[in-house]
Amino acid sequence: MSLLTGSELLIEQAQTLVLSLNDRSVKVATAESCTGGLLSALITEIPGSSEVFERGFVTYSNEAKADMLGVPMELIENHGAVSAEVARAMALGALENSDAQITLSITGIAGPGGGTDIKPVGLVHFAACGINRSDPNPLCVAVEKHFGDIGRAQVRWQAVATAITLLEELAKKLDPT
C-alpha cells in the first residue's frame, strides 16, 4: 500500500512536476519544517523521481534550520521560524547545500496548538528558489498562505499541494545551467 493512498490528485500533480523537471534536466531539493518530509515523500512516490529529486532536508527544529541550511539564528529570533524571511533563507540554504537547480521550503503552524493572533494555526510560508543560466543570482518567489484551523493533516497536505504548484511555476521560469 502506498504512503499516499487516497491522494490521487496530488500524485498526478507530482507526476506532472517530475516529468516537467526531467524534460528540463532540473534537479530539485526540498527544505521542510511543518510538513516533516511529506513533500519529499510525494515526489519520491513517482517512478523516475530519482532523475530529478536531489535531496530533502527535514528541518523541524530551529537548530536544524541553522545547522543543515545555514539559517541565521538571529533571523529566526527576529522574525520567527514561521516567516517569509526564514522560508527564503531555508530555500537559499537548500540551494547552497545541494546540487539542485531549484528548491522549495515550507515553514508553518499546522496545529492544533502553537498559533497566535499574529501567526494563527494554518499560516504557512513558502519560498522557491532557482538558478538561471543567464543570471548568477537565484530567482526566488515567496508565498504566504492562511489555510485556517482545518486540522493538522489538512494543513500539511494543503501545504504540499501548494508547494508542488510553486515548483511547477518556478521551473517554467528557469533556464537552468
Please write the tens of the pLDDT for every residue from 48-70: 999 999 999 999 999 999 999 99
The per-residue pLDDT for 145 is 98
The per-residue pLDDT for 175 is 74
CA count, 13 A, side-chain hemisphere, 169: 15
List the beta bridge partners of residue 129: 103, 140
Whether the per-residue pLDDT at 31 is higher than 50: the answer is yes
Report which of 58, 34, 7 is spatially closest to residue 121, judged by C-alpha positions.
34
The per-residue pLDDT for 2 is 47
> Can you name the CATH fold of 8-173?
Maf protein (3.90.950)
Domain boundaries, the chain: 8-173
Whether the per-residue pLDDT at 1 is higher than 60: the answer is no
Comparison of pLDDT for 1 and 110, the residue scoring more: 110
Please write the tens of the pLDDT for every residue from 71-89: 999 999 999 999 999 999 9
Please write the tens of the pLDDT for every residue from 142-166: 999 999 999 999 999 999 999 999 9
The per-residue pLDDT for 177 is 54
Give the predicted TM-score (pTM) of the model. Answer: 0.94
Report which of 8, 27, 9, 91 is spatially closest to residue 57, judged by C-alpha positions.
91
Beta strands in 12-150 (DSSP E): 28-32, 53-58, 102-108, 123-132, 135-146
The mean pLDDT value for 8-20 works out to: 93
